[in-house]
Amino acid sequence: MSLRVFHEPEPGMVAHTQASKLLTKETFDSWLRTGTHEMWPAATKLVDALQKWPASEDSSETGFALANNTKASIYDIISADPVRAQRFAGAMKAYTNSPEYDLAHFVDQYNWKSLGSAKVVDIGGAQGHAGIALAKQFPSLSLIIQDFPSIMEGAEAGVPEELKDRVNFMGYEFFEKQTVQADVYYYHWVFHNWPDKYAVQILRALIPALKPNAIIIINDTVMPQPGSIAQWREKDLRYVTVELALSPSM
């Protein structure tokens, strides 16, 4: 109640607010539960991870690994559990419902129309929310959404009927060699979750499929130098990170 999620209109009565109403929405519920079930336990182990693995760039040497008593990365663990995978995918979709992460920024700030009839591969696209937004606005684009099968489970049901011939899903782990030859490959909020050495591996995995003039688009957060922007803005930007905020390589 002190955070105004619920309120007390009279002594002894608990009432809902517009904020608590959001909890009934599946994507918002997934976002909240990902924070409480995945991110918070990992955050409480961050200092332990820093002490155990100082300056590590290994994705399995993190607060998340300690919290889950595992040597695997956050994505290996979450993708192996259908419930956690669907919850995580829902959380990613919830971000696009907020103004600062609205997909309009992604769709409108690149000249997609200039590509003509292009095949576009959305790597790490989860349930396809970004790819579907592109397909809606640009009828000449065909989309292939790639991610862990467990994260994409049931995603086809969310594709509007008129887009089903242009939006398809394909199981793919982005450290594997890319097998789809396309005009455009894009990474939407992927690299901020990985230390540099893994980001290089992800990009190198594209090489076998790249054809002349293929385009690689990266849409992600670039962190400013500490103290170079307003403190409230810097704080918000640092909230964007997931894996890096839980690992010694931050």
pLDDT digits (tens, 9 = 90+) for 103-159: 788 888 889 999 999 999 999 888 888 899 999 999 999 999 999 888 888 888 889
Report, as an integer, the average pLDDT of 62-66: 91
Q: Quick check: is 247 in a domain?
A: no
Residue 44 included in any domain:
no
Angle, CA 94 vertex, CA 93 and CA 96 arms, to 5°: 70
What CATH number is associated with residue 173? 3.40.50.150
Residue 249 reports pLDDT greater than 60: no
Query: Domain range spanning residue 185?
Result: 102-219
Residue 59, domain member (yes or no):
no
pLDDT band at 225 (very low <50, low <70, confident <90, very high): confident
Percent of the chain with pLDDT over 90: 40
Q: What is the chain's mean pLDDT, rounded?
A: 86
The predicted model gives 197-207 an average pLDDT of 93
Higher per-residue pLDDT: 30 or 96: 30
Query: Residue 241 pLDDT more than 90?
Result: no
- Residue 142, in any domain of the structure: yes
Helix, strand, coil content of the chain in percent (nearest 5): 45, 10, 40
- Specify if 185 maps to a domain: yes
Q: Is residue 167 part of a domain?
A: yes
Which pLDDT score is estimated for 212?
Answer: 93
The predicted model scores a pTM of 0.72
Residue 113 is given by DSSP the state: G
What pLDDT shows up at residue 243? 45
- Supply the residues annotated as catalytic: 192
- Report yes or no: 246 and 214 within 8 Å, Cβ to Cβ: no
Distance, in Å, from the CA atom of 202 to the CA atom of 207, rounded to the nearest integer, reads: 10
Greatest mean pLDDT range, 26-35, 48-57, 207-216: 207-216
Contacts with 241 (C-beta within 8 Å, 6 or more apart), sequence order: 192, 193, 221, 250
Name which of 100-104, 189-193, 201-205 the model is least confident about: 100-104
Q: Is the pLDDT of residue 242 over 70?
A: no
Q: DSSP 3-state assignment of 96?
A: coil
In a domain, 6, yes or no: no
pLDDT at residue 245 is higher than 50: no
Residue 24: inside a domain, yes or no? no
The pLDDT assigned to 250 comes to 46
Count structural domains, the chain. 1
What is the reported pLDDT for 244? 45
Check residues 245 and 7 and name the one with the higher pLDDT: 7
